[in-house]
Amino acid sequence: MASRDEPTTFKVNVKLVVVRAVVRDAQGHAVGNLRQEDFQVFDKGKPQVISQFEVEQPGALTAKAFQRSAEDVASEPTFKGLNATEKVQGLPERFVAYMFDDVHLEFGDLARTRAAAERHFSTLRPTDRAAIFTTSGLNVLDFTDDRAKLHEASLRLQPHPISSQRSDCPEISYYQADLIMNRHDSEATQIALQEALGCLPTNAQGVPLGNPAALVNGVSASVLAAGDHESSISLGLLKQVVQVISRMPGQRSIVLASPGFIAPRMEYESNEIIDRAVRSQVIINTLDARGLYVVMPYGDASHHPANPLGSDHAPPPGKTLILSAAASAQDDLLAVLADSTGGIFFHNNNDFDEGFRRLAQSPEYSYVLAFAPQNLKLDGSFHTLKVKLKDPQKLTLQARRGYYAPKHFADPNEEAKQEIEDATFSQEELHNLPVKLHTQFFKANDNDAKLVVLAQVDVRHLHFRKVEGRNDNVLTCVSALFNRNGNFIQGMQKTLTMHLKDETLEHKLTSGITLKTSFDVKPGSYLVRLVVRDAEGQSMSAENGTVEIR
């Protein structure tokens, strides 16, 4: 046998198409008694075979892990750990990332949202960990259970618009600029041309001096570029938050408070966010921070757009329709993010206290379906998805609406790395291999200690491949350490290559083998995650452990 140690390195990979679905009854309660045969999945209208199916219930896995750890501590007093009560009170179970869209939020809406969030923070449980993020990337607070830090971070929230998207003369919004420049909408262009006539200087006879078409094109291009920049940054920061929370060892959800924004020609980027969230069991909940609003064209007294017909005349009817459509379109992305990840979209409601209460909760039940697309072309094209119930009755279903095909097949080695990564940053326990986790610690002094993670493997029950009369297999063992707030501290990967004689396997390894990993730590509470995968059987085991070093 040969063994080597190496730091854990992970790479993202795409394998099966994973769909999270939440089914609710007429009262809005999640339904958890459905089976795989109750669902149908269509890819571009073609039925697919569901190859993986799971029913998820938040909290069940965590409770089971704590119960198992307590039994281990009771039966093996030589290994140091916490008792069950201390674990539930001290270590995290649920992670909620609160993301405020300070790029698009106006001061009044942000102030109301911030005040409701502060009241909500006081209701968090001892096992909850909260973090604050923004779409500007400013005023970030990592996951913590310190309510004072959450309060301080929320007070620092202020609007941070990156650029102005509005032109007063002619008044062209980001939405209208997209219609003009990207969609070549003739009506939107004509309305802008009419407004542009009132913006140009005139000669003594009242004839406009200048080219209204050039003015419209120039303003539209400038507004579109500014809007694209803001939307791109906002989506990029949301993607980073999904990546951050996907590495937290527990229930994971994001609450995005935003007035909504459009992201034309950024469907691929938003779908990437959805795909990563679904694969990492991250639920995105969204709150329309405008609350219950009514569109009032030109109702803002802070600016007076030019009107070629004179101040006593109403704006063109087409302009009113564009403004109304723009206000409605801002909700579309928020709705898609929530629906596609099994979350809730809270909108048209001024009760933000109730909004945060509902959004911070995970659905009581959700279903994770996966399928391998048939005859998939590696062309990067968009595939529409439709998930249905064979007998819908009075039920409603949320699920993602599509995915982008890959441009190349994934390497099997990269697939294995991705499987190990997914298992490492999860609380789910797997017992497909004969593996037992033990922990020990030794204090050198009051400030330094060594934490030892032991993985005991009964190799006689592994699958081996016969090569020249010997038994071959490769074990990959990852030990990961998280602090009391669930933040990843360190990980170590061991690779064990076995080339065993029959006699050695049958008679000399009756007690199995033990893989040992050591971490230098400070006194405190830690969550230990052990993942073991074998190359031949392509099976995994994953276990949780908790340690308190005082």
pLDDT for the residue 307: 53
Q: Is the peptide bond before 259 cis (omega within 30 degrees of 0)?
A: no
Tell me, yes or no, whether 343 lies in a domain. Answer: yes
CA–CA dist 466, 499 (Å, integer)? 9
pLDDT bucket at 27, cuts 50 / 70 / 90:
confident
Give the contacts of 68 (CB within 8 A, at least 6 positions apart).
Answer: 429, 543, 544
pLDDT for the residue 362: 79
* Site of tokens 């002619």: 170
* Res. 129: pLDDT tops 70: yes
Neighbours of 439 (CB within 10 A): 22
Q: Is the pTM of this model over 0.85?
A: no
Higher-confidence residue of 538 and 448: namely 448
pLDDT bucket at 90, cuts 50 / 70 / 90:
low
40: amino acid identity, one letter: Q
- CATH, residue 436: 2.60.40.150
Q: Would you state the torsion angle of the CA atoms of residues 420, 424, 429, 432, taken in this order, to the nearest 10 degrees?
A: 20
* Res. 232: pLDDT tops 90: yes
* Res. 261: pLDDT tops 90: yes
Tell me, yes or no, whether 213 lies in a domain. Answer: no
- How far apart, in Å, do the first and last CA atoms of the chain sit? 37
Residues 466 and 321 in one domain: no
pLDDT for the residue 257: 97
CA–CA dist 239, 183 (Å, integer)? 27
- CATH, residue 101: 3.40.50.410
Residues 502 and 533 in one domain: yes
- What is the domain count for the chain? 3
Tell me, yes or no, whether 506 lies in a domain. Answer: yes
How many CA atoms lie less than 13 Å away from 276 in the CB half-sphere?
20
Residues 262 and 336 in one domain: yes
* Angle formed by the axes of helices 107-121 and 352-359, nearest 10°: 60
pLDDT for the residue 280: 85
- With CA atoms as reference, report the closest residue to 255 among 113, 107, 125: 113
The angle subtended at Cα 247 by Cα 365 and Cα 256, nearest 5°, is 65
CA–CA dist 69, 83 (Å, integer)? 8
Residues 55 and 112 in one domain: no
Highest mean pLDDT, choosing among 8-12, 103-107, 415-419, 481-485: 103-107
pLDDT for the residue 73: 47
- CATH, residue 30: 2.60.40
pLDDT for the residue 234: 96
CA–CA dist 431, 133 (Å, integer)? 36
Tell me, yes or no, whether 139 lies in a domain. Answer: yes
pLDDT bucket at 79, cuts 50 / 70 / 90:
very low
Residues 269 and 147 in one domain: yes
Tell me, yes or no, whether 207 lies in a domain. Answer: no
Tell me, yes or no, whether 292 lies in a domain. Answer: yes
Tell me, yes or no, whether 171 lies in a domain. Answer: no
Give the C-alpha distances (Å, rounded to integers) separating 463 from 150, 377, 458. 50, 34, 11
State the burial class of residue 486 (Cβ atoms within 10 Å of its Cβ: 0-12, 13-18, 19+).
buried
pLDDT bucket at 279, cuts 50 / 70 / 90:
confident
Highest mean pLDDT, choosing among 279-283, 414-418, 467-471: 467-471
* Res. 264: pLDDT tops 90: yes
Residues 397 and 255 in one domain: no
Q: Over pLDDT 90: what percentage of the chain? A: 55
pLDDT for the residue 182: 95
Residues 354 and 368 in one domain: no
Question: Taking residues 164-179, what's their average pLDDT?
Answer: 82
Higher-confidence residue of 74 and 403: namely 403
Residues 384 and 491 in one domain: no
Question: Taking residues 117-142, what's their average pLDDT?
Answer: 93
- Mean pLDDT taken over the chain: 85
pLDDT for the residue 164: 62
* Res. 2: pLDDT tops 90: no
pLDDT for the residue 406: 83
Question: Taking residues 21-35, what's their average pLDDT?
Answer: 91
Residues 444 and 473 in one domain: yes
Residues 153 and 259 in one domain: yes
pLDDT for the residue 359: 92
pLDDT for the residue 82: 35
**Contact predicate 484/530, CB 8 Å:** no
Q: Bridge partners of 42?
A: 47, 386
pLDDT for the residue 44: 93
**Contact predicate 416/64, CB 8 Å:** no
Concatenate the DSSP letters of all residues of 499-516 into one string. Answer: EE-HHIIIII-TT-EEEE
pLDDT bucket at 81, cuts 50 / 70 / 90:
very low
CA–CA dist 227, 417 (Å, integer)? 38
**pLDDT digit string (tens) for 520-534?**
999 988 989 999 999
Residues 294 and 395 in one domain: no
**Contact predicate 491/453, CB 8 Å:** no
pLDDT bucket at 250, cuts 50 / 70 / 90:
confident
- With CA atoms as reference, report the closest residue to 321 among 426, 436, 188: 188
pLDDT for the residue 127: 86
Residues 132 and 271 in one domain: yes
CA–CA dist 39, 261 (Å, integer)? 33
Q: Give the domain range for residue 390.
A: 17-66+363-411
Q: Bridge partners of 496?
A: 3, 475
Tell me, yes or no, whether 526 lies in a domain. Answer: yes
